[in-house]
Amino acid sequence: MGAGVVVLREGFEASLVVGIVLAFLDRTGRRDGFGTVWTGVAAALALSLAVGAALFAAGAELEGSSKAIFEGVVMLVAAGLLTWMIFWMRSRARTLRREIEGRTQAALDAGSAVGLALVVFIGVAREGVETALFLFSAVGGSSPIVSLVASLLGGAAAVGLGYLFYRGSHRLNLRTFFTATSVLLLLFAGYLLASGLHELAEAGVFPESEALVVGAFVALAAPTLYFFFRTPKTAAA
């Protein structure tokens, strides 16, 4: 399930960037920029696939303790990045549309096709590279077939939601969507942390201990969930 949720969330965030830019171009009568946008998307997807292929190729070349250490370190990095990404997105959600539209308008004012392509390239490539890292970590602890099917379903759902967003559907409750997927991803980050420590323990870096694995999961999941759901105090008037 982790792979599907990751692709759904990351794919939808990438779709949001593309949808915001396309909607802005359509609203301002600049549909001639659509081709440039899709060029940026294609370049970002190519980079993401290259990073994913490099990760899986590197993992396949390693054996024994070297393979366990590599996979363990990648899982720990993915756990930290996933947690940071969730809180970063939460802090930027309210201003995301304004920032993207501002960069798009700046590229149009400058008459720069490269600048316009970069607006979507940066956003989509960031989500794509993160997805490659998370999927590599997720596949290490589950069946590749299951992960592939879950990823395809998550990707299809992300594209569908992105299209509905572009069409201006009012049925999309983005707050509920991001809250639900964030909770699942935070739990998944805890799982990656525990799995990473388990891999390092198998390589002899840490002593093998179930208590250490469970403790690591709780140590990450409990405080992050607390801070995620904590209601900020309102400053006194």
What band does 235 get if pLDDT is binned at 50, 70 and 90?
very low
**Nearest-angstrom CA–CA distance, 117 and 45:** 13
Helix then strand count (H, E) for the chain reads 8, 0
* CA distances in angstroms from 63 to 27, 53, 66, 192, listed in the order given: 54, 18, 6, 20
Per-residue confidence (pLDDT) for residue 234, from 0 to 100: 45
pLDDT digit string (tens) for 132-191?
888 888 776 566 677 778 888 888 988 888 888 887 755 666 777 788 888 888 878 888
Planar angle of CA 81, 92, 126, nearest 5 degrees: 45
pLDDT digit string (tens) for 98-129?
899 999 999 999 988 999 999 999 999 999 99
Greatest alpha-carbon span in the chain: 63
pLDDT digit string (tens) for 7-22?
888 999 899 899 999 9
The full set of domain ranges for the chain reads 2-229
> For the chain, what's the residue count?
237
Position 44 pLDDT exceeds 90:
yes
Q: What does the buried/exposed string (b/e) look like for 13-36 if buried means 16 or more CB atoms within 10 Å of the residue's CB?
A: bbbbbbbbbbbbbeeeeeeebeeb
Which residue in this structure is represented by tokens 């801070």? Answer: 227
Least Cα distance to 25 among 12, 34, 17 occurs for: 34
